[in-house]
Chains A and B, each alone.
Chain A
Amino acid sequence: MALRVDGVSVTYGPQVAVDDVTLEVSSGEILALLGPSGCGKSTLLRAIAGLEPVRHGVISYDATDLAAIPLHRRGFGLMFQDGMLFPQQNVGANVGYGLRVAGMNKADQRVRVLELLEVVGLGGFESRQVATLSGGQAQRVALARALAPTPRLMLLDEPLAALDKSLRESLLIDLGSILRTTGTSAIFVTHDQGEAFGIADSVALMNDGRIRQQGAPREVWDNPVDEWVARFVGYTSVLPASLLMPYLSDSELRTSVMQGGDTSQRMALRPNALRPDPAGLINALVQFVTLAPDHALVRVDVRGWGNMTVLVDADSAVAPGEHITLRLDSAGCALIP
């Protein structure tokens, strides 16, 4: 067990920003931290880094209580949400800061700085003033700076937020492989669930200062512990399981609903849980269609169920006012305990 956060609370005056959080990150594990804006993600990261005093609870690393260890001796890397580049230093000096501090020799420093700038796609930028960088460039410099000293635990606060999709994807791959080859544990905050899925070994969902669920991505996505988590990870409706039972074809799911036996059990549906099917038994009225580059989301009204979102292919022509039939696909369904 590398990092252990045990019942930690952080307060700002009367406001509780992090509320009795317990978390574990084992050695070499990458944890994605997700949650709505203002839920306390940055605060939790700052508390782990040692920048925010902990009100209750213990943060330990390798079973050593960190309370007594000043942040510069923790050997953690922290990338702030808004970069916090050193305005007086150029790009190269920013990236090399941690190396200088660690006493690396000049030549090695230079090699590593250039290598990292190359990784983040900013080769040739080393003598640029940070004030002249674009938003995404600044973010990449901050990422390179945090990576440079190969910390044992990386705390990354939305490291890729300001980047376009393709750059984000390629950086995500690089980031993952850097972390894995160096065996670095990491916690990274992201708003992009695909990103969390892409590299995280484990995800933690946070709301209102509390961790609502932690687990392997697949596990969390398939088995949200409550309605809030379900909705947060992309389930668009939550209905009584009894209502859906008649349409469930999947035996496994059926069985577990039956076993639960409890009539108050609910089921969460993703847009891909409902599929247009001429032979489907569910009648729906199309309300409106939202196009996306490679699919479309159709908002339909199903009598007795209310509004539901349905994923359709980008080229399937459905129009508001139309009546369609749907079938229930268990792939997009999850039972909420």
Chain B
Amino acid sequence: AIVAGCASSDPAVSANSAANSPANSPAGVGSKPAAVTLVTHNSFSVDPKVLADFEVANNLTVTVLAQDALANQLVLTKDNPLGDVSYGIDNTFASRAVQAGVFSPYTSPLLPMGSDKYAFDADNSLTAVDFGDVCVNVDHAWFSAKGLAEPTSLEDLIKPEYKNLLVGQSAATSSTGLAFLLATIGHSGVDGWQKYWTALKANGIKIEADWESSYNVDFSGSSGKGDRPLVVSYGSSPPAEAPPGAATAPTGIVAGTCFRQVEYVGVLAGAKNPQAAHKVVDFMLSPEFQAGLPQQMYVYPVDKATTLPADWVKFAQAPADTIALDPVLISKDRDVWIQDWSDLVEG
């Protein structure tokens, strides 16, 4: 009751609060909007107008709960879930939550719009909404100034000419760090990645615990003007570095190093309002929501038909061949990998 009460007082999120006139309410539902709670991560963002339209159209009040460490929270609270529907869990953590029985399957009628390509499982426990890549980013200016060719693959990164140029993150504490580890595992195989990392380490990779520090301080292509021209970051980072109106971004991605992260939405088992939860899933696959994803959250919409913003077209073409890893495999071995990685690289 407290949740709903507070939510309805805030126009930014529950735009429907004032719009409960009979004219706006579908017949038979009654004038009072139903409440639905969306549990998501701290980076969740939606155009308030788009959300308001959705609420009015469906006579719903959406309460957004943004939480750190989403996967773990969902698992911990599965007996008395925080809300009805959750967005934001990704393929590195999804299977853990699904196995714990956090989600109740739902097949959206809008699936064919492209989401099926990233389907998590046959039951549709989760529905893919968007994806992004974690890639090595490169500072173009640095390489051209040095007259050195930019690396193009993971293999390049262990070559002597690229010694001491890369900064990454700890797989144990950072999600980009983990994604990059998974990329190397996808590339070198479950047996070969340790050899690759040994070489990477010998070639002077610098590891920070967090993305913020490595990108903002060590990377030469960011405003921090650090001394490393290669950084493990998001595929969507380069547009953010382009000054307004620039024709090219000062940074780019090393296409062969990308690991694809898919973000899902799912209906929480034990939802108080599953119907509304289903509507939220549908909403996230809707063209209106999908179109806002690049601007709002720096990710690619799963719906191929979505038109990307101009600077994305210019700077941030999604790499064609990304490294992918079976979520089930990830879920099974991730902890061991992290442990081994930690022993190998940090220990």
* A–B contact, 8 Å CB criterion (strictly below): no
